[in-house]
């Protein structure tokens, strides 16, 4: 099906997508998104949604099962709280991409702005370009893969998320440290790069994770903040 | 020669016993004091207001005979399915993690029996609560612990938490001793580590963003369920106005007596405004925007009895919410556990170290043995009883003021005992026509 949202009316679009059966793999082409917010949010079936243009805030928010593709750039909070499925962005992503995502793959072919992967809870994020400052802030679990460079304070107050960066890291945030790449990490990263169609090999990356020194409140760590 | 008389030893009002003990504790530990609950200091409150009752100019209604309705509908602005409650008293958000599973079940049982709603809290939605709550509000918090679209779609409303009265501008901390495997799993974190609940949302800042975030939540839920916005008592006029602008169906405003699971003592006692001071500015904002009664206002923070309920409604609220009182009703701080509270260095009625997870009453704990002490059926019945008493008391007052609907109570039914309360509530000082801060009525 093909839905034109020239007038910015997304209610009809989301309603039609929500009305699809739970096992539907229907293909839907969204025309003229023109930066509208909340496009293709709350999907709950393995739909294939292709958006021809750039979107506003929260594209594919809380997605479950669906594969959403944006032929343009996405505004803040793309794939926020995604549970499964995927969001592929052929352009750039604004702030908070993949925020609090629980699962699925967020594949950004361009760059991602600040706080990419903030509070992530199991989502896999692959950014083919660079990411901004404070990315993976308080990231809990999942993987953030960056083929380019990372900005300031990467992984600040990190929990158990794994961060892989091929380029330079401007600075690491509190309690984030470089960690050795072991076989399990190389295997995991190779699979993620393959899924994302990335032109890179796992051995080109460095891994960053939590030093786990802030896991229990200790007054002697107060200066870390 | 007679001995020179000694003056009686005098303790400083500034450096009183509590202050001295806190200085010593801080010096010994190097850590600020963390506790649960709300402000404990004496504050201007509903006790400083009185109802005038009916007299020559108004006639009362007969108790137990003439009807005084109490139901309230929440979420009439945009939601296709607003919530209808039998009583204007809801159960405030309290997290699973902070509270035990049986405690959440007790709240659900009691609220459903009394015809009202419960609210999830940080940490996600549990089966205990969803299964026993006829009407359940799902909180959408900065941490997003346990947030998922399936639970969102089975909620009766969603509550965007911007802040809470105990700590406007603050996040939370659930210490490792309460992070059981189940709590950890719901929050996607390792068991046994301290968990920080963020103080602001990860993907929006400010009212313009919030408007878009609320749009997203409405789209996900097909505009079916109401969207509440909860704010702490910081700048009630502007916070309420901006919540309306952002698209809220219902605004929950929590004063500084409102409880928290755990935060710094200095935060609880020194940030935010008393509940009494928050209501009139909030109502004024709604009235200035022409949205009073169209966007419903729920007031929380220190509601204890039917008089408090009636006073909050008279000042313009559509409903109130209770947290601390609900916990007491199901058994928190009960004297039957006095010896155990003392063994923890506290006392029944004073215990507030909820973050330590050793609650003898089995409420603010994840200890399986302690949890067994709370029978959800009995505790639920107690909560229902308490809610019924609050309602009967508020009706009693409403009838005495000549109202056949509890929501017909109005500021004109009130006077204040203190200048401060008169100024905050915008009602005359008792025995005068003087409302501080307003032009004198002549």
Q: Write out residues in chain B with pLDDT < 50, as ranges.
A: none
Q: Can you give the C-alpha Rg of chain B in angstroms? A: 22
- Phi and psi, residue B23, nearest 5°: -60, -45
A-facing residues of B in 111-170 (CB < 8 A) are 143-144, 147-150, 152-153
Are the C-beta atoms of A89 and A74 separated by less than 8 Å? yes
For the record, the structure tokens of B270 come out as: 């020194």
Compute, in degrees rounded to 10, the torsion defined by CA atoms B57, B63, B69, B72.
100
DSSP A28-89: EEEE--TT-SSTT-S--S--EEEEES---TTTTTT--S-EEEESS-B-TTTTTT--SSEEEE
For the record, the structure tokens of A89 come out as: 């962005």
Can you give the pLDDT at residue B440?
60
Chain B residues in contact with A10 by the CB 8 A cut-off are 219
CA distance to B175, B191, B300, per residue, from B359 (Å): 14, 20, 24
Q: Is B28 in CB contact (< 8 Å) with chain A? A: no
Q: Residue A104, SS3?
A: coil
pTM to 2 decimals? 0.95
Are the C-beta atoms of B264 and B237 separated by less than 8 Å? no
Q: How far out from the chain centre does Cα B343 lie? A: 29
Q: Residue B77, SS3?
A: coil
Q: Which long-range contacts (CB under 8 A, 24 or more apart) does B243-246 make?
A: B243/B162, B243/B207, B243/B210, B243/B295, B244/B285, B244/B286, B244/B289, B244/B291, B244/B295, B245/B207, B245/B211, B246/B207, B246/B210, B246/B211, B246/B214
Chain B residues in contact with A219 by the CB 8 A cut-off are 29-31
Can you give the pLDDT at residue B223?
97
Other C-beta atoms within 10 Å of A169: how many?
Answer: 21
CATH number of this structure's domain B44-331+374-425: 3.20.20.70
- Block mean pLDDT (10 aa), chain A, length 225: 89 96 97 97 98 98 98 98 98 98 98 98 98 97 98 96 98 96 97 97 97 81 68
Which of B152, B189, B216 minimises the CB distance to A37?
B216
Reported ipTM: 0.96
Whether B220 and A96 lie within 8 Å, measured CB to CB: no
Q: Residue A201, SS3?
A: coil
Can you give the pLDDT at residue B272?
97
Separation in Å, CA of A141 to nearest CA in chain B: 7
Q: Residue B355, SS3?
A: helix
Q: Give CA–CA dist B20/B274, Å, rounded.
A: 25
Closest to B146 in 3D by CA, of A44, A77, A102 = A102
Interface test with B, best of A5, A19, A37, A38 (most B CBs within 10 A): A38
- Find all residues with CB under 8 Å of A13, minimum gap 6, and list them: A3, A5, A30, A39, A40
Can you give the pLDDT at residue B225?
98
Q: How far out from the chain centre does Cα B83 lie? A: 19
What percent of chain A is modeled with pLDDT above 70? 99
Separation in Å, CA of B30 to nearest CA in chain A: 7
Q: Can you give the C-alpha Rg of chain A in angstroms? A: 18
Can you give the pLDDT at residue B441?
52
Can you give the pLDDT at residue B210?
98
Separation in Å, CA of B244 to nearest CA in chain A: 20
Which of B147, B175, B219 minimises the CB distance to A81?
B147
Which of A58, A62, A217 minimises the CB distance to B194?
A217
Q: Give CA–CA dist B85/B103, Å, rounded.
A: 22
Chain A residue with the nearest C-alpha to that of B185: A121
Are the C-beta atoms of B136 and B116 separated by less than 8 Å? no
- Find all residues with CB under 8 Å of A78, minimum gap 6, and list them: A55, A58, A59, A60, A61, A70, A87, A89, A93, A94, A97, A98, A106
Chain B residues in contact with A157 by the CB 8 A cut-off are 196
For the record, the structure tokens of B367 come out as: 């200890």
Question: Could you tell me how many CB contacts below 8 A there are between chain A and chain B?
Answer: 107
Cα angle B404, B110, B91; round to 5: 70
For the record, the structure tokens of A149 come out as: 């460079």
Can you give the pLDDT at residue B65?
83
DSSP structural state of residue A150: B
DSSP B285-318: HHHHTT-BTTBEEEEESS--SHHHHHHHHHTT-S
List the domains of chain A with CATH numbers.
29-211 (2.160.20.60)
Q: How far out from the chain centre does Cα B351 lie? A: 18
DSSP B130-167: HHH-SEEEEEE-TT-TT--HHHHHT-SEEEEE---TTS
Q: Give CA–CA dist B309/B322, Å, rounded.
A: 10
Separation in Å, CA of A215 to nearest CA in chain B: 5
DSSP-derived pairing of the beta strands B49-51 and B414-416: antiparallel
For the record, the structure tokens of B317 come out as: 């609220």
Q: Is B61 in CB contact (< 8 Å) with chain A? A: no
Whether B219 and A119 lie within 8 Å, measured CB to CB: no
Are the C-beta atoms of B269 and B170 separated by less than 8 Å? no
Are the C-beta atoms of B395 and B385 separated by less than 8 Å? no
Q: Give CA–CA dist B319/B310, Å, rounded.
A: 9
Q: For chain B, give every domain's residue range.
A: 44-331+374-425
Which of A14, A64, A100 minimises the CB distance to B147?
A100
- Find all residues with CB under 8 Å of B29, minimum gap 6, and list them: A219
DSSP-derived pairing of the beta strands A48-52 and A86-89: unpaired
Measured between its terminal Cα atoms, the distance across chain B in Å is 68
Chain A residues in contact with B194 by the CB 8 A cut-off are 215-217
Chain B residue with the nearest C-alpha to that of A122: B188
Answer left, alpha or beta for residue B310, where phi above 0 means left and psi between -120 and 50 means alpha: alpha
Chain A residues in contact with B149 by the CB 8 A cut-off are 42, 44, 62, 64, 81, 83
CA distance to A84, A170, B228, per residue, from A81 (Å): 9, 27, 20
What residue has token string 């004024």? B284
Are the C-beta atoms of B148 and B174 separated by less than 8 Å? no
């Amino acid at each position: 099906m093909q839905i034109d949202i020239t007038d910015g009316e997304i209610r009809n679009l989301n309603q039609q997508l929500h009305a699809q059966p739970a096992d539907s793999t229907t293909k839907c082409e969204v025309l003229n998104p023109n930066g509208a917010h909340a496009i293709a949010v709350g999907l709950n079936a393995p739909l294939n949604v292709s958006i021809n243009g750039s979107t506003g805030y929260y594209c594919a928010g809380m997605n479950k099962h669906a594969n959403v593709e944006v032929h343009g750039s996405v505004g803040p909070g793309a794939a926020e709280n995604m549970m499964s499925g995927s969001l592929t962005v052929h352009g750039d992503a604004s702030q908070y991409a993949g925020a609090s995502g629980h699962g699925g793959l967020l594949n950004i072919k361009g760059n991602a702005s600040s706080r990419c992967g903030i509070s992530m809870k199991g989502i896999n994020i692959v950014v083919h370009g660079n990411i901004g400052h404070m990315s993976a802030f308080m990231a809990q679990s999942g993987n953030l893969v960056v083929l380019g460079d990372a900005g300031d304070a990467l992984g600040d107050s990190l929990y158990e998320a794994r961060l892989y960066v091929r380029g330079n890291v401007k600075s690491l945030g509190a309690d984030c440290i470089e960690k050795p790449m072991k076989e399990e990490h190389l295997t995991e990263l190779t699979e993620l790069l393959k899924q994302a169609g990335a032109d890179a090999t796992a051995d080109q990356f460095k891994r960053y994770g939590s030093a786990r020194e802030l896991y229990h409140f200790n007054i002697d760590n107060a200066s870390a903040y | 020669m007679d001995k020179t008389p000694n003056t009686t030893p005098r303790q400083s009002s500034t450096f009183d016993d509590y202050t001295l003990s806190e200085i010593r504790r801080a010096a010994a530990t190097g850590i600020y004091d963390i506790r649960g609950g709300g402000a404990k200091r004496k504050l201007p409150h509903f006790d400083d207001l009185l109802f005038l009752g009916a007299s020559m100019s108004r006639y009362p209604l007969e108790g137990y005979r003439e009807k005084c309705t109490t139901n309230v509908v929440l979420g009439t602005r945009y939601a296709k399915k607003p919530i209808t409650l039998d009583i204007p008293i809801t159960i405030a958000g309290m997290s699973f993690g902070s509270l035990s599973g049986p405690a959440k079940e007790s709240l659900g049982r009691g609220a459903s029996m009394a015809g009202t709603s419960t609210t999830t809290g940080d940490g996600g939605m549990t089966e205990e609560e969803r299964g026993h709550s006829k009407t359940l509000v799902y909180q959408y918090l900065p941490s997003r612990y346990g947030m998922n679209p399936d639970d969102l779609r089975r909620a009766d409303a969603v509550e965007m938490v911007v802040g809470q009265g105990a700590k406007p501008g603050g996040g939370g901390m659930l210490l490792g001793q309460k992070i059981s495997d189940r709590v950890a799993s719901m929050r996607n974190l390792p068991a046994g580590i301290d968990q920080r609940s963020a103080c602001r949302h990860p993907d929006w800042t400010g009212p313009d963003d919030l408007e878009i975030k609320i749009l997203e939540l409405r789209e996900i839920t097909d505009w079916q369920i109401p969207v509440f916005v909860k704010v702490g008592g910081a700048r009630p006029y502007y916070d309420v106005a901006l919540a309306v602008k952002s698209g809220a169906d219902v605004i929950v405003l929590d004063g500084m007596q409102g409880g928290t699971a755990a935060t710094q003592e200095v935060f609880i006692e020194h940030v935010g405004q008393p509940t009494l001071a928050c209501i009139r500015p909030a109502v004024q904002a709604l009235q200035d925007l022409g949205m009073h009664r169209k966007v419903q206002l729920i007031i929380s923070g220190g509601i204890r009895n039917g008089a408090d309920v009636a006073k909050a409604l008279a000042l313009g609220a559509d409903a109130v919410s209770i947290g601390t009182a609900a916990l007491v009703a199901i058994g928190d701080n009960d004297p039957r556990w006095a010896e155990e509270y003392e063994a923890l260095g506290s006392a029944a009625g004073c215990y507030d170290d909820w973050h330590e997870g050793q609650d003898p009453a089995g409420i603010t704990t994840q200890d399986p043995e302690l949890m067994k002490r709370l029978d959800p059926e009995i505790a639920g019945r107690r909560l229902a009883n308490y809610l019924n008493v609050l309602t009967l008391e508020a009706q009693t007052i409403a009838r005495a003021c000549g109202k056949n609907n509890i929501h017909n109570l109005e500021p004109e039914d009130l006077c204040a005992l203190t200048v401060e309360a008169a100024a905050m509530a915008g009602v005359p000082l008792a025995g005068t026509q003087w409302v501080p801060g307003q032009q004198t009525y002549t």
